[in-house]
A and B are shown apart, each in its own frame.
Chain A
């Protein structure tokens, strides 16, 4: 009972990493922007979020700054694509490299001299219900978990039940059709990418602020890319992204548990699990995956 409770707890704690980043990619993708800069954005957001939390002594400031950093990466991505006509993949990869380098560079400059690396301020928690097994694991959590639940619901509602949602999706399906009926395609793409990237930044900030308590180089460890995979096989839908996130949080939680309990498998193979799983899942789901038709393609009138 206790071990199971522990695992469910881990899963729910890891879930926001994948949900928030996946959701961010979905929001951008539904406007046609294929954002693969997540890994870099997350690291830059992690670094910035951690440092600002430590120096201001305030967890909220740190989390907010990580979202702002993420948003900046989104702005940069869309600017490069829309105004400088750079291919979305190329811009994304370059931003991954840039973000990774930037986060390490800033970290080295600011902290490098000291040998002692301070811990981030503790994360606020909310306890909603008494200690019922399993269920309480979902509802006695840090506040980012609640933020995540709300984000998924709001994203779903806006995307499928509101006018701005249908315009957002129209831009992703057929920007020309959207343009012809008077929708401001550029504005939608900018907003979607920036807001989406802010969520990716939140996922990045979550890592040092909540999970580890401190920043280490390479903290994202490939999760920014797994998030892209999740968005793809969720067919770019918020509710399915949530399910995919739970799947990968589960894999990560199990791998961790196995490492700790020293089952005979060498730890490297456990760490490989999320990456191999993603490939297997994508191969299995091949026929049933859909995507917005203009994903990755630039749009211009003339």
Chain B
């Protein structure tokens, strides 16, 4: 019996076709993988099933009966639960409040939580999860938040569970705990849809898998009978790129002679910014000719690590030397003129001016460079536009011109522009945070190639990435950051996901 059947689902967002006549079905009690690279349409498809999006056409069947799902309330009533990539818990509320939120049976003019608490404890215990019921969600690490969301779905009696890229923020043992929980739920007859872009996870967790590419179904296979190559060719049909089991391009790191002295040197750097995880006595060196990767669970100081290099105002104590010179008395604009550039964690939210033209976006960070100005204050827009056109050509950005609003570009192209901006002038040091987040594989390859280019020209890259696979793909060394401190540095020969994960999770001190 099919627990879920989607027939002929299509969806466009404006001019962009996200899903094109997708047929997708899942048997009761199986773990079904939904595999595809970033942008393939997996989340969109499941958001339709969960009632957050309305399809332009197509039908949905649950347990063989056709249904109309127009809001999450409908899907919850049908026994569907979804755990999104980014947490959908209310940060200000406690774990227990979040789990029972939306349950109308708790009364209207009262709030009978006592009975509910018992039920929740039993549910959590049954899948081996331990949750701090009365802690506010905003104080919890991503792994615990995810467990909370799973228990929340089960509390609403979900029989069909959708997990969207569940391993993105998991570290060390957490993945095993998740697999164990999935197996227990399977035994109880729960159907699970497991969205991922990492091929090896399909083999670790799934019974069957459907591959999505460019909004179309490429095929469905029984995992036990499938091979990695089959899945790769379905995911990347037509693209001749060698791929790892996490669907990343296989990159080769040539031998490069490092520079004698480091291009970036951080000495006892500490910060003191409210509401952020601060750095404590960080010592780091990045030489020319190497890519230093920074591994860590989200929220352990990565943001400040990126920002303090280009904004010395954030320095509370310690010093930062770039090419031997201290940055202490410099302004951000000065530093960006001296051979350093950066790309922020969220290229769209923190790096772009969405309703401005492409060339005005490229100008950001370069807006006080003498070559674009007449005198000190007047902008020569002609020059800015011609330089922008060159950059667009060099980075092969798909756009009719440099004048249109940047948000009119596709997500991947928009991110390309923001990434390209860092390379407007020749640089000695690139600081980049999650440069490949959300990019399709061809774009990931492009970014990796640019990083390796810098490395080959004996320049330095400080590469921060919360995805360990992406980090290990191109780093020479990996330093683990935890609670604002560097706790261990691994050489490339020593790279081991489990080991690094242990330091990230604080299991080893």
Determine the interface band of chain B, counting residues with CB < 8 A from chain A: 20 to 34
A182/B89 in contact, CB under 8 A: no
Min distance, Cβ A133 to any Cβ of chain B, angstroms: 38
In this assembly, does A84 line the interface, its C-beta being within 8 Å of a C-beta of chain B?
no
Residues of A within 8 A of B52 (CB): 179-180, 301
Bound state CA distance, A181 and B91, in angstroms? Answer: 14
Bound state CA distance, A71 and B222, in angstroms? Answer: 59
Min distance, Cβ B148 to any Cβ of chain A, angstroms: 11
In this assembly, does A153 line the interface, its C-beta being within 8 Å of a C-beta of chain B?
no
A181/B53 in contact, CB under 8 A: no
B72/A179 in contact, CB under 8 A: yes
User: For the complex, would chain A's binding face be called helix, strand, loop or mixed by DSSP majority?
Assistant: helix
Bound state CA distance, A81 and B441, in angstroms? Answer: 39
In this assembly, does A302 line the interface, its C-beta being within 8 Å of a C-beta of chain B?
yes
Bound state CA distance, A177 and B108, in angstroms? Answer: 20
In this assembly, does A158 line the interface, its C-beta being within 8 Å of a C-beta of chain B?
yes
In this assembly, does A293 line the interface, its C-beta being within 8 Å of a C-beta of chain B?
yes
A170/B93 in contact, CB under 8 A: yes
Min distance, Cβ A246 to any Cβ of chain B, angstroms: 27
Mark each residue of chain A from 155 to 177: 1 if its CB lies under 8 Å from any CB of chain B, else 0: 00010011111110010011011
Min distance, Cβ B92 to any Cβ of chain A, angstroms: 5
Bound state CA distance, A301 and B50, in angstroms? Answer: 12
In A169-218, which residues have CB < 8 Å from any B CB? 170, 173-174, 176-184
Bound state CA distance, A158 and B111, in angstroms? Answer: 10
B90/A180 in contact, CB under 8 A: no
B101/A167 in contact, CB under 8 A: yes
A163 partner, pick from B88, B90, B110, B152, beta carbons under 8 A: B110
Residues of A within 8 A of B226 (CB): none
Bound state CA distance, A252 and B138, in angstroms? Answer: 41
In B151-190, which residues have CB < 8 Å from any A CB? 152, 156
Residues of A within 8 A of B102 (CB): 167, 178, 181-183
A177/B101 in contact, CB under 8 A: yes
In B90-133, which residues have CB < 8 Å from any A CB? 90-93, 97-98, 101-104, 106-111
What would 7 more interface pairs be, CB under 8 Å, given A162-B108, A162-B109, A170-B93? A162-B107, A164-B109, A166-B101, A166-B111, A177-B98, A180-B88, A293-B91
Residues of A within 8 A of B (CB): 158, 161-167, 170, 173-174, 176-184, 293, 301-302
List 6 interface pairs A-B (beta carbons < 8 Å), by A numbering: A166-B111, A174-B88, A174-B92, A182-B72, A182-B156, A302-B53
Residues of B within 8 A of A (CB): 13, 52-53, 71-73, 76, 82, 84, 88-93, 97-98, 101-104, 106-111, 152, 156
The 5 closest A-B pairs by CB, nearest first: A181-B102, A182-B73, A180-B88, A174-B90, A177-B90
